[in-house]
Amino acid sequence: MDLDLKESQNLILGSLLREREVWPAYAAAQHPIRHTLTRVALPAAVVAALGSFLLGLVFSSYYLFGAASIGTLLHGLIVAVGALFIWAAAAYYFAGLFQAGPAGPTGPPGPEPTEETDAAEAEAPDPTESAPATGPRTLDQAFAAVTFGLLPGFVGMLLQALPLVGALIALVAGIYALMTLYRALPVFLPIAEGDRTKHFVATFIAALVATLVLSALLGALLVGSVARDVSQRADAELDRISEQVDLGDEAAPRSLPDLLGVEGQVASIEDAADDDYTPPADGELTRAQVERTVRLLARTEEVRHESGKRLEAIADKSEGEGEEPSLGDLFTGIRGLVNIGTAEMQVIKAAGANWAEHEWVKQQLTNARLSPEDNAHNYELYQAFEEELENLL
């Protein structure tokens, strides 16, 4: 097997920390599946599965199919790698349905290069930006997109056996992996810009169902009868959720936010992104601005606390030996985490305030706290609300 641990480390860490540099370069290289499998997928899966297994032994945690054992180790490793192939096949197939125009020139040859065209090429966009894919749709590229996109999920898999916080970390990592995959797919596959959400939703649903089937089958073979009970509960939850999500032939494909029940949060993000604010030339705050910001920040903390309590309840259920969290709990957890992350935007927009102005006020207050002598006016206002702002900024 063609292994290069140094390259594996650079690719995995680079993808997690510098995706805009690593992804376009790797996509341009057109590496075959074998290269991605041996340099990225297998090292990440082995480290995650083995590390999770060892942590499970140390903390005596319980996995989806019972206590830590060689069976759970093999199950986790095979499902992790198998899931990558499943997701890649789904992404490849649906990319054919939502494919962008053919890459490269297809008409008559263009004019001969000149000094002007050379200069234009020199001023082309930075290749380190995550630009849309221009290469052909291949299974090799689909596997690379899925592997890099789902890498955060391996981090969650590694840490899931930690007591108290392991289940929550795994949940956060899984949600973040979906967000990362959404960004990675257009970098490796030529997907029409207007169809990216449809492509992702179709890939997500098909791959999720197939992965659950694979996990149940392997669990029955490698782990034992407990897997069948869990599989039955998972099937029941999927049936219940499918009844709530109308994906009939006559219905238009629903977006991922709509599917997960977070379309309201996403709408707040979009509204906030459209806000604009021109600060005063002197950079001075008004008392009304500070009062409003304090009030909105306090309300944001209340919303986050409420969502956090619901997530703690799900985490407690994950750690218990009796009742296990359902897929319904997973969707509730997803909504809760998104709610925590977007709480401030939601509060701002619900109050009819301007997000750009709100962010500017916060920055001016922070500057005043850090450098009072250079921001005398704003520091006076900060001092007037220092007790409230101490835990809000």
3-state secondary structure 32-71: CHHHHHHHHHHHHHHHHHHHHHHHHHHHCCEECCEECCHH
The percent of residues above 70 in pLDDT, for the chain, comes to 61
- d(CA 169, CA 18) in angstroms, rounded, equals 21
Q: Is the pLDDT of residue 272 over 50?
A: yes
Q: Is the pLDDT of residue 263 over 90?
A: no
* pLDDT value, residue 19: 86
Helix (H, G, I), strand (E, B) or coil at 181: helix
Highest mean pLDDT among 60-69, 264-273, 290-299: 290-299
Report the chain's terminal Cα–Cα distance, integer Å.
52
- Between the CA of residue 205 and those of 127, 180, 194, 199, what are the distances in Å? 32, 16, 19, 10
The answer to whether the Cα torsion of 176, 157, 29, 37 is positive or negative is negative
- d(CA 24, CA 126) in angstroms, rounded, equals 10
Query: And the tokens for 312?
Result: 């703690």
Q: Tell me: the pLDDT tens digits for 103-157?
A: 433 333 444 445 444 444 444 444 434 556 656 789 899 999 999 999 998 888 8
Task: Give residue 380's pLDDT band: very low, low, confident or very high (50, 70, 90).
Answer: very high
Average pLDDT for the chain: 73
* pLDDT value, residue 157: 81
Q: Tell me: the pLDDT tens digits for 164-206?
A: 677 778 888 888 888 889 989 999 998 887 788 888 888 888 8
Task: Give residue 358's pLDDT band: very low, low, confident or very high (50, 70, 90).
Answer: very high
Task: Give residue 227's pLDDT band: very low, low, confident or very high (50, 70, 90).
Answer: very low
* pLDDT value, residue 109: 43
Residue 206 in contact with residue 195, Cβ under 8 Å?
A: no
> What residues form DSSP beta bridges with 200?
none
Residue 240 in contact with residue 120, Cβ under 8 Å?
A: no
Q: Kindly write down the DSSP assignment for every residue of 89-157, as one continuous string.
A: HHHHHHHHHSB-SPSS--SS--PPP-HHHHHHHHTSPPTTS-PPP-S---HHHHHHHHHHHTHHHHHHH
- d(CA 139, CA 89) in angstroms, rounded, equals 7
pTM: 0.48
Helix (H, G, I), strand (E, B) or coil at 19: helix
* pLDDT value, residue 308: 75
Helix (H, G, I), strand (E, B) or coil at 130: coil
* pLDDT value, residue 98: 74
Q: Is the pLDDT of residue 377 over 90?
A: yes
- d(CA 73, CA 346) in angstroms, rounded, equals 42
Task: Give residue 261's pLDDT band: very low, low, confident or very high (50, 70, 90).
Answer: low
Question: 84 phi and psi, to 5 degrees?
Answer: -60, -45
Question: 106 phi and psi, to 5 degrees?
Answer: -120, -10
Q: Tell me: the pLDDT tens digits for 74-118?
A: 656 777 788 888 888 888 888 888 766 544 333 334 444 454 444
